[in-house]
Structures are given as structure tokens and as C-alpha cells.
Amino acid sequence: MELKTVASLLGESFKRLSPTYLYLNPVLFMTEISFIIVALYMLVTKSFSLFYISVLSLIFITVWFGTFADSLAEFQAKATAKFLISVTQANLARKIMNDNSSEILIKPEELVKGDIILVNSGEIVPVDGVIIDGAAAIDESLVSGESIPVIKSVNDEVVAGSRVSSDWLKIKVVKPVGESYVSKIADMIEKTKRPKSQSEQELNLILYVLTAIFTVVIIALFVIVGALGYRPNPAILLAFYVCLLPTTIGALHEAIGISGIARMWKIRVISKSGRAIESAGDVDDVLLDKTGTITIGRREPISILPFNGIQVEDVARAAFIASLNDDTQEGKSIIRFLQNSGYTPDNLDSIITSTYEEFSAKTRKSGTYYKPSTWGGKEMRGKLHIIRKSDLNGIYLNDEIPVFKGAPDVMKKIFSVPSDFDKTVEDIAKKGNSPLIISYGDKIIGVIELKDIIKPGVKTQIESLKKMAIEPIMVTGDHPLTARNIANEVSINEVIAQAKPEDKYKKVQAEQDKGKTIAMVGDGTNDAPALARANVGLAMYQGTEVAKEAANMVDLESDPSKIIDVIMIGKQILITRGSIATFSIANDLAKYFVILPAMLSTISALSYLNILKLPPHVSVISALIYNAIIIPALIPLAIKGIGFKPDNPNKTFLKNMLIYGLGGMVLPFIAIKLIGIILMLHIVL
């Protein structure tokens, strides 16, 4: 970290010592008031001994560590935005002049829409644009998180912050610096608001109550000690007061919440609200869209099934002819499957140059009007012998044979249907898979069985959700039978099939009416109402603007399954806050039984209660030192979060109560005793 950055961080932490900032944090606010009272007492009584100076310094350090924790957590979140902007503006841009033969170096922010720039290997693309010349490997890891470079060429889009890994590119500026993809991301991070979540509000209430109780205790103790004829020392009582306050959680709970924003960025999710992050930790139900979330979002071929009297090789080669010119993901997957299965024909050139009919939502089929080089039984190494010129019944045109693939209901209306057609299609559908019918000429010859492949690791993630008592609900537009089969594969119990946009909204509303916290994913305008209604709405960056506006989170990688990671982070934040709160309160109880007996040890009848055998002054200073150093010691844990494995919430709660509750009770006794011994060996208070 640079010296300038450290200075800025320290400056911000000192600014937050202002009572106008601290009054929102009852614990640190009362600790600061204690500092002021001790300072005034020292000035009035002119008590400037090492003891009083130590008490004053340690109280101040306790408050400052709290504001430093806030500043550090927020700095980490905001530094991301500044880093993104600095990367794109770090170097000058090479603007190509109108004569196309010369270039000048200018600042990236001076580029305007329509300018042409040259970006060489190893350089950062400063703006969003489109490639007009050249081809290169592009590293987009800065914005997408994907470390593997992708090859891009003419007409491909590039975003600011991408690095050209090889060769060179000429790029036409589409969006200047201020409107670029990276600028929008940085702006979203900078403007992230963090209203307090329900759990924070409840914790704040507890802190207010504890602060009030300990305030009453100290005032009562001051009165009682005075009534017994002893002159109470305000500095000692206030030091005792500071030690009793739950300063650890009071100092760190804001940092815990802010750190969630930085953790979201690591998975390339921008949260518009810190409250949304923590709401993710309270989720009861999560609506998961099948396509793209549970499955990879495209169907993959798994088998070839010929109809009566047809050879598998014939169906495979016909499917190859119908798919070779198909640029869709499904078409490419069929060619890949056929090649891997050894069904590649020899005469690819004649297939490529044949007339191709693209798929459309209206026709629901696609294929090739193929012109074979020979007729009769010799076509394609003698394998494809099912069609003869006389069998085409008028479909044959200019020596071209229609070779198509398409949906069952469409294909059976156009082509001759074999006797086992309906049974084969039904058997595939019962398994939850999709039949893709293959025709050659005027005859249906076979079917390719397609399956929507489950995403790797999704089943494990869903099992993790269920372990945490979160119920996943699958939402899909598919047929109920297909939907049910996919759901069974990943152990999802509830399915909403053939779902319309309004069905998603009604489901979110119905579950919320039961008092549940709901999360959902969406990317379209029709998802916007449900995204806005859900407690946690995750929109895809490549989705519509309306969806992104409605949601309270945006995934820059447009990966719907990211909602599971979001829930995990939210859960981790809640566990971290709860564990540190438990540790802090246990600490306070322990310090109470350390300091009070030491203070009362001057009364001979009560001296036996001082189990640590430390003098009152040493006990108080030791407790204050411990109180101060425990805060910075826990800052890394607060920001990084407590590691956990998905498990039953009650079991996780009891486990953390045992670890952090018991640890919080025992540690102060050991630490304060050791600090006290060191003080008595080296310092005379």
C-alpha cells in the first residue's frame, strides 16, 4: 500500500472520530464521551500521572481502532472503483488521424465516439469499441474474471480494461471513457448504499440496551462506593465502564457489513445495497430458472435413434448434412457429437456450398438442400441408400435433396412418418430429454436425443442450500415432465413448469406473505416485477436495462447460478457478525469478573474475590490494553469473514456459540493476567 494511500486511510479514520459520525454507534459514542470526561478530570485535578495518561490513551485508541476498521473496510470496497478507472486511463491512447497514415498520443478521456485508435500487444483498451481491422487474443479478466484470452477480430466488440495479449487491433470508439462498461461498474460501486439490515438493526438495539445497562451500573457503583465512605476515582470507574462496553462488536459490526461489498466484487457481483447482501443470508426460498442456472443453457446430443429399417450411420450422416451450416450452439454441438462418434462424411465441400435454410421460431426447423454427387446406392460411401430420385414426390428440385432437423410436431406434418415415431418421441420425453427429428428427402429417418446438461457442481450447491434450510424452487417454461426429470436429477422438490412472468411474481409474493425471505434471478423485462419484489434480486448484466434497474444486485458475468454464491456470502456475513458479537459479550462478562473484584480487593473482606491477584490499577490498565488490542486483532476476521461449511442453521449457531462464547469467556482471564505480569515487571503505575 502506497504512503499516500495509507495517509488517506488514516485521515479518514480520524475524521470519523467526530461525534457527528459516532453518535450512530452507541458503544463507540459512549466510549468517546468517557475519553472526554477523563481528559476533563485530568485537567481539573491536574492529575497527569502515568496511570491517567495510560487510561486516556487506551480509551482513545479503542475508539480510533473502531473508526479505522470502518475506514479500512470501506476503503477496500471503494478502491476497486478507483482501480478500474485508473487501469483504463493509465496510458495514452494512439489515435489514428483522418489521413489513416499517422497517429497521435492523447489522453483516453479526450477520445470521442467515432475516433479510431490502435492498440498493440500488451496494451490496455482504453474505451469501449468495435474492431475494424486486425485480430488478436483479448484478456478480459479485469472486468469478467475469466483469465483465458479470447480471439476477437473485425466487427467484434471490446470493452475498456481488456488487454490485447497478441498482435494488434484498430478499434472504433463506441463509448467514450465516461460512458464505458468499466465506468458504469465503477459508478455502481461508488454509489453503493448500505442502509442497515434487519440483523444490524436488531444488533444495534442490543448494543443500546447493553450500553444503557452498563451506564446505570457504573453510576450505581459510583453512588454505592461513595455511600460506603470511599472516594471513588472517576478515571478508574470510566476505564471500568469502557471495558464493560461491547466495544469489540461495536467497533467491528459496521466493517463486517461493508466488507460484504468487496467480497461480492470478487465474484463479479455489484450490490446496490448492503442490506441486500445480508438479506441473502436470511433467504428461505430461492427461485432458480432451469436454463442457464441449473443447466448449461443449451441442449447436447447424447444418442442417435433410427426408425424402422434405417441404419444409424444413415441418420448420423443426414444429421451432419442438416447441421454443418448451422451456427447455433445446438448445431455446433451436433456436429461435435457426430465427429467424436466417427460420423464425418467425406464430401464436406459439397455440403458447405449447398443451400441452407436457417431455423426460425415460426418454422421450428432448419436444414440443407443438399446436391449429392451421385445417385442410387453409392452416395456417401454407400451408407446413405434410403432415398432415390423417384421417391421425392415433388420435393426434389434441381437435383437438391432436402435434409432437415426440427421439432416433432412440425416435422410430422411435413414429412412421411414411420410407424414407431410416436413411441420413440414419447420415450425420449418421459426421460425429460428433447427429441430432434431428422428427415432425408420426404421421409423421417430418425431422431437425435438431446439433453439439457446439468451444470457441473450445481447438484452439490443445491444440496448445500438445503443443508442450510434454504428451499430451492425450479422455475421453467418447459413441459412439466421434462422439468420434473431435471429437478429430480438435482434433488429439487418444488417445480413451477410452463411458467409465465406473472407466475414468478405471484410465487415471490405468496412466499413473502408467509413471512419468508425470497431470492430470485432474472435477465428480461418480464422478470423485472419479480426481481423488484424479491428481497434479493440478481439481474444479469447482459440482460435488459429494466431488469437491472429493478434488481438490487447485478452479475457482471451474467451467470444465473451465481445466486448460490451470493447466498453463501450473505450467510457468511451473518455468521461472522453473530460470532464476533457472541465473543464480544462473553468478553465483557469475563472482564467484569476480572476488574470488579480487583477494584474491591482494597476491602479486606472481599479480597479473596480477586482471583487474578492483580492490583486495582494494574488490573484496569491491563483490561484496557486487552480491550484495545483485541479490536485490530479481529479486523482481518471481520473483513475476510469466518469460514463455514453449509450445515443446519441451528447446528452452526450452537457450534459458533460454543467456540466464540467459550473463547470469549476464557481468553480475557489469560490475556489480562499476562499483560498485568508484564506491567508489574517493567512499569510502576
Q: How many Cβ atoms from other residues are within 10 Å of residue 357's Cβ?
A: 15
Question: Tell me, what's the pLDDT at 316?
Answer: 92
**257-273 average pLDDT score:** 79
pLDDT band at residue 1 under the 50/70/90 scheme: low
Q: List the grid coordinates of 379.
A: 452416395
Q: How many Cβ atoms from other residues are within 10 Å of residue 440's Cβ?
A: 27
Residues of the chain above pLDDT 70, percent: 83
**Is 289 noted as a catalytic residue in this protein?**
yes
Question: Tell me, what's the pLDDT at 384?
Answer: 42
Q: DSSP letter at 400?
A: B
**343-362 average pLDDT score:** 77
Question: Tell me, what's the pLDDT at 240?
Answer: 78
Reported as type and span, the H/E element at residue 473 is strand 471-475
Secondary structure tally for the chain: helices H, strands E: 24, 21
List the single range of 428-442, 532-546, 644-658 with lowest mean pLDDT. 644-658
**91-113 average pLDDT score:** 80
Question: Tell me, what's the pLDDT at 389?
Answer: 38
Category of 148 on φ-ψ map: left (φ > 0), alpha (ψ -120 to 50) or beta:
beta
pLDDT band at residue 393 under the 50/70/90 scheme: very low
- Length of the chain equals 685
Calpha distance 541→532 (Å, rounded): 16
Q: Which residue has the higher pLDDT, 543 or 468?
A: 468
Residues 6+ apart with CB under 8 A from 551: 272, 522, 531, 532, 537, 538, 539
pLDDT band at residue 87 under the 50/70/90 scheme: low
Question: Tell me, what's the pLDDT at 72?
Answer: 78
Question: Tell me, what's the pLDDT at 486?
Answer: 85
**Most trustworthy range by pLDDT among 16-30, 192-206, 350-364, 412-426:** 412-426
List the single range of 81-95, 395-409, 457-471 with lowest mean pLDDT. 81-95
pLDDT over 50 (residue 390):
no
Q: Are strands 168-175 and 128-139 parallel, antiparallel or unpaired?
A: antiparallel
Calpha distance 222→241 (Å, rounded): 11
Query: 446 by DSSP, 3-state: which?
Result: strand
pLDDT band at residue 619 under the 50/70/90 scheme: confident
CA 339 from centre of chain: 38
Question: Tell me, what's the pLDDT at 31?
Answer: 84
Calpha distance 400→368 (Å, rounded): 9
Amino acid, res. 643 = G
pLDDT over 70 (residue 77):
no
Q: List the grid coordinates of 40.
A: 476533563
Calpha distance 8→86 (Å, rounded): 17
pLDDT over 50 (residue 383):
no
Indicate the CATH number of 284-295+455-565 among 3.40.640.10, 3.40.50.1000, 3.40.50.12780, 3.30.1330.120: 3.40.50.1000
Residues 44-63: pLDDT tens digits?
A: 888 787 777 887 888 888 88
pLDDT band at residue 514 under the 50/70/90 scheme: very high
Residues 6+ apart with CB under 8 A from 206: 581
Q: Which residue has the higher pLDDT, 374 or 166?
A: 166
3-state SS track over 175-230: ECHHHCHHHHHHHHHHCCECCCCHHHHHHHHHHHHHHHHHHHHHHHHHHHHHHCCC
3-state SS track over 38-67: HHHHHHHHCCCCHHHHHHHHHHHHHHHHHH
List the single range of 387-401, 543-557, 610-624 with lowest mean pLDDT. 387-401
Residues facing 553 on adjacent strands: 271, 538
Question: Tell me, what's the pLDDT at 184?
Answer: 65
Residues of the chain above pLDDT 90, percent: 11
Question: Tell me, what's the pLDDT at 498?
Answer: 78
**608-628 average pLDDT score:** 83
**105-122 average pLDDT score:** 85
**296-305 average pLDDT score:** 84
Question: Tell me, what's the pLDDT at 593?
Answer: 83
List the single range of 265-269, 404-408, 470-474, 608-612 with lowest mean pLDDT. 608-612
Calpha distance 527→542 (Å, rounded): 14
pLDDT band at residue 85 under the 50/70/90 scheme: low
Question: Which among 70, 139, 285, 289 is annotated as catalytic?
Answer: 289
Q: List the grid coordinates of 60.
A: 482513545
Q: List the grid coordinates of 600.
A: 474491591
Order of all β-strands in the sheet with 434-440:
295-306, 443-454, 434-440, 401-406, 365-370, 355-357
Residues 529-550: pLDDT tens digits?
A: 888 899 999 988 777 778 888 8
**671-683 average pLDDT score:** 85
Q: Which residue has the higher pLDDT, 2 or 653?
A: 653
pLDDT over 70 (residue 399):
no
Q: Could you tell me the sign of the dihedral formed by the alpha carbons of 172, 178, 180, 183, in that order?
A: positive
Calpha distance 36→63 (Å, rounded): 12
Calpha distance 260→538 (Å, rounded): 15
Question: Tell me, what's the pLDDT at 59?
Answer: 83
Question: Tell me, what's the pLDDT at 187?
Answer: 64
Q: List the grid coordinates of 210.
A: 447493553
The mean predicted confidence, pLDDT, of the chain is: 80
Residues 487-503: pLDDT tens digits?
A: 888 899 999 887 777 78
List the single range of 117-121, 142-146, 165-169, 346-350 with lowest mean pLDDT. 142-146
Phi then psi dihedrals of residue 290, to 5 deg: -60, -55
Cα-Cα-Cα-Cα dihedral of 457, 460, 464, 465, to 10°? 70
Domain spanning 299-453: CATH 3.40.1110.10: yes
Domain boundaries, the chain: 3-78+190-263+569-682, 112-175, 284-295+455-565, 299-453
pLDDT over 80 (residue 198):
no
For the domain 112-175, what is the CATH code?
A: 2.70.150.10
pLDDT band at residue 181 under the 50/70/90 scheme: low
